[in-house]
Amino acid sequence: VRVKFWGVRGSIPAPGRDMARYGGNTSCVELTLSDGSQLILDAGTGIRELPRFDVGAPHTTHVLLTHLHLDHIQGLMFFAPLFDREADVTVWGPPWFDSPLLSRLGRYISAPLAPVEIRELPALVEFVDAPAYFNVGPARVEARLVNHRGPTLAYRIVDDGAVIAYIPDHEPALGQRIDDSPGEWISGYSIARDADLLIHDAQYTDDEYGGHLGWGHSALSDTMAFARRSGARRLALFHHDPKRSDAEIDELSAQAVDLAGGDLEQVFAATELDTLDVSR
């Protein structure tokens, strides 16, 4: 499975000279599955940069939304396939009682916030409340609610034996001791266990976290404890705070490598436009 980061920032886009190396676009990760098909994780502003479909290739794609905070859906209205009459797009997202995903997203893709109405998108689009398990091409996807503000899914994607866990907004330490609670009590554990690549919230330093308890994000040492408990092989620090400069992210990721102490094969800060291959 090939992974490409199109947006790695949390909360709000963060353009600027001091942010340019890691990138300022909000959450969007593209997976190219073992059969060449495309699966997109979140529709932050990074999704705008995805290339158009090749002429002659199937115009089919799947977008998996973790939740509907603006930094994860803002790019939807600028996602070219939605305006392509030949495209077939399935958008998956968290269920919320009897309110379908279409009507919840329609609060954003409608007047006065948008120049288009969600029911008028030219593509063939289907909005689906994600069940616990579903298939996308050759991949088996598991979706689970995790600790964040509002209904928020984490996704586990298994394709050709490779396991990718995507948990961009997550506060596993809330009401939980990550180091000594039983695994199944820890939010997100079943999604991340033994993942070949864990893409995880790393919004706050430990110092900052004290002032943001309950905001739905992780302190670095909680991210590291979560990765260690879940047995992930590689960890991508993700959802960088919008005020975090490149130099500060360098520092944070050096700290993360120290904290990992050899428990993980690789720890790195996700960088816009970087790609990596993940296999078993």
Name the segment binding Zn ion (CB under 5 A); options: 7-15, 47-55, 204-212, 227-235: 7-15
Tell me how far, at minimum, the Cβ of 246 lies from Zn ion, in Å: 20
- Considering only 7, 10, 75, 188, the residue that binds Zn ion (CB under 5 A) is 10
CB-nearer residue toward Zn ion: 30 or 169: 169
241 forms part of the interface with Zn ion (CB under 5 A): no
Q: Does 46 bind Zn ion (CB under 5 A)?
A: no
Does residue number 42 form part of the binding site for Zn ion (CB under 5 A)?
no
Query: CB within 8 A of 206, min separation 6: which ones?
Result: 219, 220, 221
What number of other Cβ atoms are within 10 A of residue 29's Cβ? Answer: 25
The CB density around residue 142, as the number of other CB atoms within 10 Å, is 19
Closer residue to Zn ion in complex, CB, 10/81: 10
| Cα–Cα distance for residue pair 257/227, rounded to 1 Å | 12
Considering all CA atoms of the chain, what is the largest pairwise distance in Å, rounded to the nearest integer? 53
Closest to Zn ion by CB, 59 or 104: 104
Query: Does 93 contact Zn ion by CB under 5 A?
Result: no
State the minimum distance, in angstroms, from the CB of residue 93 to Zn ion.
13
Shorter beta-carbon distance to Zn ion: residue 127 or 238: 238
69 forms part of the interface with Zn ion (CB under 5 A): yes
Minimum CB distance to Zn ion smaller for 10 or for 172: 10
Q: How far is the CB of 140 from Zn ion (least distance, A)?
A: 25
Rounded to 10 deg, the angle between the 246-260 and 220-230 helix axes is 40
Q: State the Rg of the chain over Cα.
A: 18
Cα–Cα dist 156/142, whole Å: 5
Nearest Cα to Cα of residue 167 among 66, 22, 69:
66
Is 169 a binder of Zn ion (CB under 5 A)? yes
65 in Cβ contact with 42 (< 8 Å): yes
The structure tokens listed for 41 are 């994780």
Residues within the interface to Zn ion (CB under 5 A)? 10, 69, 71, 169
